[in-house]
């Protein structure tokens, strides 16, 4: 079907262009060559952008690997610290128990020593010579209690130092644990940010690849058109009189700034060179895009005959209308087509519908002599 359209356009093109218009064909040829060079420059820019994005991807992946390794290492250290905290807590519990036991024993022995010493002092002067063995036994018991007291006191001091030591160790380990946890949280946040950057970079790289492919296809199509224009320029002969030439031009010129808009809406893509919203490149458009309402009805801009209906490359569902051989109108990115090929339509006839949301957009072209022209020059000024 695409080959048929091209042949149809070329036959029509040859039949309507007289020799006096050969200069115009050459002018169009020069313009298309300039446009082709611009597309090639844009392809090179996008390839450079793609290369830059690939380097960024590699860098982000390397950083993510380092961050992931750091998180794993820190989490491993955290587990080790948590085990050390458990050990320190157990030792602290044992030391605390030892301290409590020694302190209780020390207090108990001290109380007993005081009681025995008081009793010993009372009876020493009265009964010492009557009961010398008893006093010696009391002295021995008091001395033993003093020894027990000293031992309990020493054990208590050692246990107290152990309590202080393990408390300090536990506090240090908890602080270290908090630092490691903060480091893990920080690295995980950084990991999320890097993953987001990587995803954004990958999306931009994929978009750049798609743009490169689309521009390459456009360049090929434009190169073929230039080749055909060159053939037409060489083979063009006088086919009609000067009167017919004047009538064709005047017929087309009467429609300039006089055609109704195919749909009500806002132009979101202009004819010609457009700046890419994110990448540092330009996009060449042979038509305009009109953002409209959901399921909006598309109308023919003038009386004519439906020359083509169907799917066409990235244009999706498309309609081409031949307006008495004077010019062609192109309607693309449609959701539903309401006409058939060879069907006659009048100005304002419903021919198609657009979709919803992001798909509620019409792509519209005007072609004269198979050369795309700015549709705004043909449509009524808003």
pLDDT in tens, 73-101: 888 888 888 888 888 888 888 888 888 88
- What is the pTM (predicted TM-score) of this model? 0.45
pLDDT of res. 17: 42
Does the domain at 244-382 match CATH 2.70.70.10? Answer given as yes
What pLDDT, in 10s, does the model give residues 327-382? 889 999 999 999 998 999 999 999 999 999 989 999 999 988 777 889 999 999 87
Whether residue 59 is predicted with pLDDT greater than 80 in this model: the reply is yes
Topology match between the domains 12-239 and 244-382: no
Of 26 and 186, the structure prediction assigns the larger pLDDT to: 186
Question: At CA 381, angle to CA 376 and CA 382, rounded to 5?
Answer: 115
Band (263; pLDDT cuts 50, 70, 90): very high
CATH 3.90.1170.50 assigned to 12-239: no
Domain edges within the chain? 12-239, 244-382
End-to-end CA distance of the chain: 36
Give the pLDDT band of residue 240 (cuts 50, 70, 90). Answer: very low
Contacts 24+ apart (CB under 8 A), 159-168: 159/95, 159/96, 159/98, 159/99, 159/102, 160/99, 162/91, 162/92, 162/95, 162/98, 162/99, 163/92, 163/95, 163/96, 163/99, 165/95, 166/88, 166/89, 166/91, 166/92, 166/95, 167/92
Q: What is the mean pLDDT of residues 241-257?
A: 52
List pLDDT tens digits, range 2-57. 444 444 444 444 444 444 445 555 666 676 677 777 777 877 887 888 888 888 88
Rg (CA), the chain: 47
Asked whether the CA dihedral 46, 51, 55, 57 is positive or negative, the reply is: positive
E strand or H helix at 185: helix 132-235
Closest CA relative to residue 103, chosen from 34, 151, 172, 175: 151
């Amino acid at each position: 079907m695409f080959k048929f359209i091209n042949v149809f356009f070329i036959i029509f093109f040859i039949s309507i262009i007289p020799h006096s218009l050969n200069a115009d064909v050459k002018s169009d040829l020069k313009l298309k060559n300039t446009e082709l060079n611009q597309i090639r420059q844009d392809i090179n820019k996008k390839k450079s952008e793609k290369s830059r994005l690939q380097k960024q991807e590699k860098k982000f992946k390397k950083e993510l690997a380092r961050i992931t390794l750091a998180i794993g290492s820190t989490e491993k250290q955290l587990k080790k610290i948590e085990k050390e905290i458990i050990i320190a807590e157990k030792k602290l519990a044992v030391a605390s128990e030892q301290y409590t036991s020694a302190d209780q024993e020390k207090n108990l022995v001290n109380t007993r020593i005081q009681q025995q010493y008081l009793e010993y002092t009372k009876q020493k002067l009265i009964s010492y010579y009557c009961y010398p063995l008893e006093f010696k036994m009391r002295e021995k018991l008091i001395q033993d209690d003093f020894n027990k007291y000293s031992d309990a006191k020493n054990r208590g001091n050692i246990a107290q130092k152990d309590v202080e030591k393990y408390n300090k160790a536990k506090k240090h380990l908890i602080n270290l644990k908090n630092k490691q946890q903060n480091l893990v949280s920080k690295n995980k946040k950084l990991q999320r940010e890097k993953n987001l950057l990587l995803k954004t970079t990958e999306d931009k790289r994929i978009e750049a690849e798609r743009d490169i492919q689309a521009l390459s296809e456009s360049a090929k199509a434009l190169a073929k058109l230039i080749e055909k224009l060159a053939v037409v320029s060489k083979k063009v002969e006088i086919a009609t009189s000067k009167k017919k030439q004047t009538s064709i031009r005047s017929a087309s010129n009467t429609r300039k700034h006089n055609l109704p808009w195919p749909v009500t809406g806002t132009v979101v893509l202009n004819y010609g060179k457009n700046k890419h919203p994110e990448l540092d490149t330009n996009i060449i458009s042979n038509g305009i895009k009109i953002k409209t309402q959901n399921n909006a009805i598309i109308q023919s801009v003038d009386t004519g005959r439906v020359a083509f209906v169907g799917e066409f490359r990235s244009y999706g569902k498309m309609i081409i209308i031949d307006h008495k051989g004077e010019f062609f109108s192109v309607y693309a990115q449609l959701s539903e087509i309401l006409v058939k090929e060879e069907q006659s339509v009048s100005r304002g006839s419903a021919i198609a519908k657009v979709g919803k949301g992001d798909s509620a957009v019409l792509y519209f072209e005007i072609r004269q002599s198979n050369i795309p022209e700015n549709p705004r020059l043909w449509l009524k000024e808003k």
